[in-house]
Chain A
Amino acid sequence: MTKFEILGKNDTRSGFGVGLLEAGQQNPNVVALCADLIGSLKMDAFIKEFPERFFQVGIAEANMMGIAAGLTIGGKIPFTGTFANFSTGRVYDQIRQSIAYSGKNVKICASHAGVTLGEDGATHQILEDIGMMKMLPGMTVINPCDYNQTRQATVAIAKYEGPVYLRFGRPKVPIFIKEDMPFVIGKALKLVEGNDVSIFATGHLVWEAVLAEEILREKGISAEIINIHTIKPLDEKAILDSVAKTGCAVSAEEHQMNGGLGDSIAQTLATHSPLPQEYVAVKDSFGESGVPEQLMEKYGLNAAHIVEAALKAIDRKRKK
């Protein structure tokens, strides 16, 4: 048995949709923009309730980012919605100059991140977005793990002043974060206490880490599972406290190994407490078409790969 009960199954983008409506109900300054992907982003409920606070920009993501930046001048809190690929790589310079460098209170909400986008293939499966966004000074980067946490994160970022990149996905995945669990931007969430290895996971890989914990437990290994929903600012204290106890780390993310959560953790360990770390991430490769489970397996992103990485990290620790 995993340490978490499956409460249901839904996509994280639907968590965004309900969170956006809730944020809109809480604050009349919340507005939303979309670049011709309302259905994919689950923005219908917000649009139905607040038609005058929604801006359909069409297939023009660069313009959408600029309009969002402009809307903040006048006190609005804009949430942009499109696929993660078109939310980042396509509009990097617009985000850099008009939003990040200008310090604008824009929430860049990005669905269909990673290989679990599935059949559309590599043109749409961005695996570099966390890296691009975390490199921008002042940008907060959040990658929630299930429907409930995505809803929590969406509501939380509306109350936070500053640019945010919120990353979520397409497939229906287990819901296991209880509604009353805390969500604080920049604060890691410890899901399972353990002593032998620290597994730091973000996004869809958090559930895989929960599954891996069960497999490791059956092997007599006690894994600590920490949900790093906020990649920037990184909760360095939670990471260092955990590895002080376990002595080794695994990072797990649906992203390139280069520039993702793993690198942020490696930076923390290298500068404060050098210890063995193994990466569960995509190894310098583009994705491809397929169903999410097949892709997670092929690109080394499921529970079995986390188990393998954990065993390797523990082995390296013991050989030190």
Chain B
Amino acid sequence: MAEKKSVAELKAIASQVRRDIVRMVHSCQSGHPGGSLGCTDFFVALYFHEMNHDPKFNMDAKGEDLFFLSNGHISPVFYSVLAHSGYFPVKELATFRKINSRLQGHPATHEHLPGIRIASGSLGQGMSVAIGAAEAKRLNKDDSFVYVLMGDGEQQEGQVWEAAMYAPNHKLDHLIATIDWNGQQIDGPTAKINDLRDLRAKYEAFGWEVIESNGNDMEGILAALQKAKSLAGKGKPVMNLMKTEMGAGVDFMMGSHKWHGVAPNDEQLAEALGQLEETLGDY
């Protein structure tokens, strides 16, 4: 099991992960940098501080915390964090979205990439899978945590609400869900596409314990995850509504939906990398 990193170390790792993300999507000229950058701090906090997990990777993960990525299009951040955690060689990030790679455009188990436990990309399915994994842990008398991350646009999928109804009714109180609440989706602001309205009230009405956090503040993320864990074991799943800035860390990618699914060109890559310190060495 990995040691817990300090806040300064976590911030340094996050900077490298952001460099990886923009380099990966630039290299294959496709992919989703905006959401990946926005969720970088959260992923780093989970994998390098909060989660009890083993990069030797066992699918069943008995006695380990589990993480599921439902909004699979932010695969670049997932792959970079898994690689730096030791699940597979960092240099393999160079194969992202290319032929014969284990790093598919959206996460998949099919090529047996260590760290991935379910395919995701077609939205709305991850919370159901996390619920199943949490039910298996309960049957196995394993009180580890199951984490799931969803997009905010993804809340428009009906299956999310089937799962949202199930978890509190079945008292899955070791389930910690997070919504990447960046207010953007591919076609524009969520408020204009199909407004989510009051997410807190919705989840509370379904029976969840709801907390709010800032997903681009490392101390804030750690505090939120600590709070989520402290609320566990009391009969309710926990929903972390996490405000993030799409594109966080690269100024020209922030504040709009335009970088949801667009790769930077050579000049834009250079400009982005100029804003992100190379802390662990580029792959």
- Which A residues fall within an 8 A CB radius of B? 31, 52-53, 55, 57-58, 60, 62-76, 78, 93-94, 96-98, 101-104
The answer for the CA separation of A63 and B161 in the assembled complex, in Å, is 9
Residue ID in chain B nearest A69 by CB atoms: B129
B135/A55 in contact, CB under 8 A: yes
Interface string of B103-138 (1 = CB under 8 A from A): 000001110000001111110111111111111110
18 contacts between A and B (CB under 8 A): A58-B165, A63-B131, A63-B163, A63-B166, A66-B125, A66-B132, A68-B132, A72-B136, A74-B136, A75-B60, A93-B122, A94-B159, A97-B125, A101-B108, A101-B119, A102-B109, A102-B110, A103-B110
Known contacts being A57-B166, A103-B110, is A71 close to B119, with CB within 8 Å?
Answer: no
Let me know if B140 is at the binding interface, CB within 8 A: yes
* A55-B135, A70-B132, A102-B109 known; A75+B140 contact, CB < 8 A: yes
Whether A98 touches B137, Cβ cut-off 8 Å, given contacts A66-B159, A67-B131, is no
For B, the interface residue count at a CB cutoff of 8 angstroms equals 39
A70 touching B118, Cβ below 8 Å: yes
Residues of chain A contacted by B163 (CB below 8 angstroms): 63, 66
Residues of B within 8 A of A104 (CB): 118
What residues of B have a CB within 8 angstroms of the CB of A93 in the complex?
Answer: 122
Q: Which residue of A has the minimal Cβ distance to B160?
A: A63
- Point out which of A58, A65, A74 has the most chain B C-beta atoms below 10 A from its C-beta: A74
In-complex Cβ contact of A63 among B137, B142, B159 (8 A): B159
Q: Does B171 contact A (CB under 8 A)?
A: no
Given A67-B128, A73-B136, the answer on whether A62 and B108 have CB atoms closer than 8 Å is no
Known: A55-B135, A70-B135. A62 touches B128 (CB 8 A): yes
User: Which chain B residues lie closer than 8 Å to A76 at the CB level?
Assistant: 136, 139
Give bound CA distance, A69 to B110, whole Å.
Answer: 14
CA distance A147 to B9 in the complex (A): 63
Q: What's the Cα separation between A55 and B163 when bound, in Å?
A: 13
Judging by beta carbons under 8 Å apart, are B117 and A60 in contact? Answer: no
Query: B residues within 8 Å of A by Cβ?
Result: 59-62, 66, 68, 108-110, 117-122, 124-137, 139-140, 142, 158-159, 162-163, 165-166, 170
What residues of chain B lie closer than 8 Å to A71, measured between beta carbons? 132-133, 135-136
B129 closest partner in A (C-beta): A70
The interface residues of chain A lying within 8 Å CB-to-CB of B128 are 62-67, 69-70, 94, 98
Q: Report Cα–Cα, A52/B170, bound state, in Å.
A: 12
Q: Are A70 and B119 in contact (CB under 8 A)?
A: no
